[in-house]
Structure 1
Amino acid sequence: MRMGSLAMAAAVLILAAGCADTHPVAHAPLPLPSTAPASPGPKLTIDSPNGIKGPVGELIHTGLHDPHGDEYVIFGITGAGPRSPKDFGFAIGFREPKNKVTADDSLTEWVGSPSAPGFHPMNGQKELSDGSVQPAYGYYAGTPATISVQEAGRPIQAHLARWSHDPTITVFWFDPADVHDDDRWAQLAAYDASGNRLPDGRILRM
């Protein structure tokens, strides 16, 4: 990882779901960003020390940047964590000049099908040793209109993008500028366009 070791130790946290308030957050859906490359260029290369193969589908542009000015991107992967060629996961990394992408972090489903409806294990926001913050991200099997989380009773809405390889999969991430204290997150939930709560799936944060 270019930015050094994480300043916080990773821990698994189950986000409260079953007893959560089922009322949707009163926010209009954030626009879905384009997954198309920003401009034509040399063939995309992935630099990964963990055997990750990708990207599967187009890069998802988060609009967020690391301290070097390189944009954080999320992309589909195979290899490493996935248990078979049919399985998949996602990685986050930064896109450097000449279409080089360095995979900084990845997530996969390790219980059941990665396509089962609902949430799958997500990676929480991470403060890195240089003081920068890598955004929390994950994926939802389905096509919700909104995804939100409660932070000490304050709603935070996620940014969404459909996976170009399989548009029934929705990738989401949270802008660190919107986050005050992610240790107080609860009630991660997905809603359809009518405000109905969708299946939770497995709500886990790494």
Structure 2
Amino acid sequence: MKKRLFVAGAAVAACGALVVSGVLATANAAAAPAADTVAAPVSPPPTRVAASQHEVLGDVIPSGFGDVVFYGVKLQEPRLPETTFGIMAGARDAAGRLTDLIIANETTGSDKAPGFHAVSGGLNINGHDVPTFGYYSGPAAKITGRIWGTTGVAHQARWSADPNVVVFWFNPGVAEPENLKAYDAAGNELPAGDTGVGHG
């Protein structure tokens, strides 16, 4: 059983690097394989309107899948002195209000050490299909993972609060990616960091 810490009333999985701020339902069932190459969705103008329980940092990133969005949030927890932020998967309504669903954050070491951090497996939370997502610290121009024996390319966007942080996500409803890799603009493989996929 995972040990848990508590941050601002939300549970933190000490070994899965996740703060859970929504009610978790069932994990997504596998659907069709992801395409070998996935184009990033076209983003509407960013908004900072928030009903989030956390302080929103930077612009909201649309996932391209329904009302699911991603945004940075401020974290302050004495037991996690090197964790200052997390990436929240939330839902945005037509008025721009945000509802927190699940947050991915580092629980060991620096939250900006080079590599992958806090990868959260896909879940259905309060009727919202949240895909596998996380963040990469470094100049990642392309992020891939093995899904059902083929290489899937993640959607990604640089976080406006720190352009060295890349938020990434895969299509909802597909198998969790394995063998996560990040590449720079020249195609060179970047440091791996923590490529494990956790569950809230």
TM interval, short-chain normalised: 0.7 to 0.9
Q: 1:125 to 1:101 in 2, by over 3 A?
A: same
Residue identity over aligned pairs, in percent, reads: 32
- Distance in 2, Cα, partners of 1:46 & 1:129: 17
Q: 1:154 to 1:89 in 2, by over 3 A?
A: same
Q: 1:81 to 1:97 in 2, by over 3 A?
A: farther
Give the counterpart of 1:73 among 69, 75, 92: 69
User: 1:205 aligns to what?
Assistant: 197
User: 1:149 aligns to what?
Assistant: 145
- Distance in 2, Cα, partners of 1:195 & 1:147: 11
TM-score, normalised by the number of residues in structure 1: 0.71
User: 1:37 aligns to what?
Assistant: 46
Q: Could you tell me whether the CA contact under 8 Å between 1:33 and 1:160 is conserved in 2? A: no
Q: Could you tell me whether the CA contact under 8 Å between 2:179 and 2:195 is conserved in 1? A: no
Q: 1:126 to 1:80 in 2, by over 3 A?
A: farther
SS at match of 2:185: coil
Q: 1:34 to 1:97 in 2, by over 3 A?
A: closer
User: 1:64 aligns to what?
Assistant: 65
- Distance in 1, Cα, partners of 2:73 & 2:99: 13
Measured against aligned partners, the alpha-carbon deviations of 1:124-177 in whole angstroms (never above 9, x if no partner) come to 1113575x5311110000121110100232111100100001101100011126
- Distance in 2, Cα, partners of 1:172 & 1:107: 12
Measured against aligned partners, the alpha-carbon deviations of 1:90-119 in whole angstroms (never above 9, x if no partner) come to 101110132210010001101000000010
SS at match of 2:95: helix
TM-score, normalised by the number of residues in structure 2: 0.73
Give the counterpart of 1:125 among 100, 104, 122: 122
- Distance in 1, Cα, partners of 2:187 & 2:178: 19
Measured against aligned partners, the alpha-carbon deviations of 1:63-114 in whole angstroms (never above 9, x if no partner) come to 111xxxxx11100011366835971111011101322100100011010000
User: 2:181 aligns to what?
Assistant: 189
Say what the alpha-carbon RMSD is for the aligned residues. Answer: 3.0
Note the C-alpha offset of 1:36.
Answer: 4.0
Are 1:7 and 2:16 an aligned pair?
Answer: no
Q: 1:188 to 1:85 in 2, by over 3 A?
A: closer
Richer in helix (by share): 1
Measured against aligned partners, the alpha-carbon deviations of 1:14-68 in whole angstroms (never above 9, x if no partner) come to xxxxxxxxxxxx85x8457548426xxxx712233xxxx2210010111111xxx
User: 1:104 aligns to what?
Assistant: 101
- Distance in 1, Cα, partners of 2:170 & 2:27: 18
Q: Could you tell me whether the CA contact under 8 Å between 2:156 and 2:168 is conserved in 1? A: yes
Q: Could you tell me whether the CA contact under 8 Å between 1:144 and 1:193 is conserved in 2? A: yes
Unaligned runs of 5+ in 1: 10-25, 66-70
Note the C-alpha offset of 1:123.
Answer: 0.7
Q: Could you tell me whether the CA contact under 8 Å between 1:33 and 1:161 is conserved in 2? A: no
